[in-house]
Amino acid sequence: MKIFISGATGFIGSRLALKLAGEGHEIHALYRSEHKKRVLDHPNVRFFKGDILDYQSLKEAMAGCSGVYHTAAFAGVWMQDSMQIYRHNVEGAMNVFNAAIWAGAERIVCTSTAGVIGHSPEGESVNETSPLPEKYFLDYENSKRILEESVKTLASAGVNIVMVSPTRVYGPGPLNESNSVTRIFTRYMKGNWKIIPGDGTSTGNYVFIDDVITGHIKAMEHGKPGEKYILGGTDIDYNEFFEILAELTGLRYRMIHIPLAVSKAVAGILTAMARVTGKAPLITPALVEKYNHNWKVSSNKAMRELNYNPVDFRTGAKITIDWLRGQ
């Protein structure tokens, strides 16, 4: 089977491409960077240089493909011209879908984010049917909300397209912005991360990369057109997160809890500097605010309809730590 993957050199895209190539599929990998494409060293991967904002390059790369995975996105927390986020995440995605329709692809799987659903009420989990928030912390999430509405419109018009929504993904793979959780692993292991947001009791959901890849493939095989499936893992708070890292690495540091007001003040200074330098800040006030809310999610729908069965955080974290030590 010929399969096209946008974002093929990214965190999710590269792992997906190698998994499918290893199963014997011919992968049409869209790439921009000669350096980044080196992560896709497999005889079943064909490279097509292009960009999701370049419709013609998409048509050339997608010719003959029956399956399409759209994993490409701008996943950063800040861009000087925020409209570029929407160009990549909405306009670029629509280019991919239109090219897939032109190519006669049988099915499209679109990668969104569980962040579209919003943070969870106290003591509860959110799911695919939860009311969506009126406002988002980040342009990234807002752009994905707009994208999801477009996907629903295409599905209602008869396009065979399915959405998957990962939570906070971690694991072996390129240490880019999409793999920011694993970057925290590396900084902790080097003794360069000793802070915990707020009192450390805010909860997030963390999912292992291999489970996300499996979820994508199962969505291609069994997902219902127009439906969205949360691909989550384990709900844990920051105190638990770093306690597990300490236990698995054998490295225990004195962690410092940073009050919300202090974090927002520092983030504000970094963001102001970014507007001058044009270089993205490590953190923004909106990101600080986001991560001081609870983000508990349920993956029951994916478990029920896709036979999705993720590993727990401790298991995934151990695999990731062993991989990092082997690098």
141 SS3 class: helix
**Rounded percentage of the chain residues whose pLDDT exceeds 70:** 100
Which of 173-182, 230-239, 287-296 is most confident? 230-239
The tokens for 217 are 């493939």
Predicted confidence (pLDDT) at residue 80 exceeds the cutoff of 80:
no
Work out the mean pLDDT of the chain and round it to a whole number: 94
**Rounded percentage of the chain residues whose pLDDT exceeds 90:** 78
pLDDT score for 261: 85
Identity of the residue numbered 230: I
- Domain 2-172+208-233+296-312 class, CATH top level: alpha beta
Predicted confidence (pLDDT) at residue 165 exceeds the cutoff of 90:
yes
pLDDT score for 69: 98
Which of 35-39, 55-59, 272-276 is the least confident region?
Answer: 272-276
Predicted confidence (pLDDT) at residue 282 exceeds the cutoff of 80:
no
pLDDT score for 255: 95
Q: For every residue of the chain, which 3-state class applies, written as one string? A: CEEEEECCCCHHHHHHHHHHHHCCCEEEEEECCCCHHHHCCCCCEEEEECCCCCHHHHHHHHCCCCEEEECCCCCCCCCCCCHHHHHHHHHHHHHHHHHHHHHCCCEEEEECCHHHHCCCCCCCCECCCCCCCCCCCCHHHHHHHHHHHHHHHHHHCCCCEEEEEECEEECCCCCCHHHHHHHHHHHHHCCCCCEEECCCCCEEEEEEHHHHHHHHHHHHHHCCCCCEEEECCEEEEHHHHHHHHHHHHCCCCCCEEECHHHHHHHHHHHHHHHHHHCCCCCCCHHHHHHCCCCCCECCHHHHHHHCCCCCCHHHHHHHHHHHHHHC
Confidence band (pLDDT; 50, 70, 90) for 156?
very high
Predicted confidence (pLDDT) at residue 100 exceeds the cutoff of 90:
yes
Which of 75-79, 108-112, 224-228 is the least confident region?
Answer: 75-79
Residue 219 CA, chain-centre distance (Å), reads 16
CA 249 to each of CA 6, 185, 243: distance values in angstroms, whole numbers, following the listed order = 35, 10, 10
pLDDT score for 327: 86
> 31 forms bridges with which residues in the sheet?
49
pLDDT score for 205: 97
Residue 281 CA, chain-centre distance (Å), reads 19
Predicted confidence (pLDDT) at residue 78 exceeds the cutoff of 80:
no
Predicted confidence (pLDDT) at residue 274 exceeds the cutoff of 80:
no
Predicted confidence (pLDDT) at residue 124 exceeds the cutoff of 80:
yes
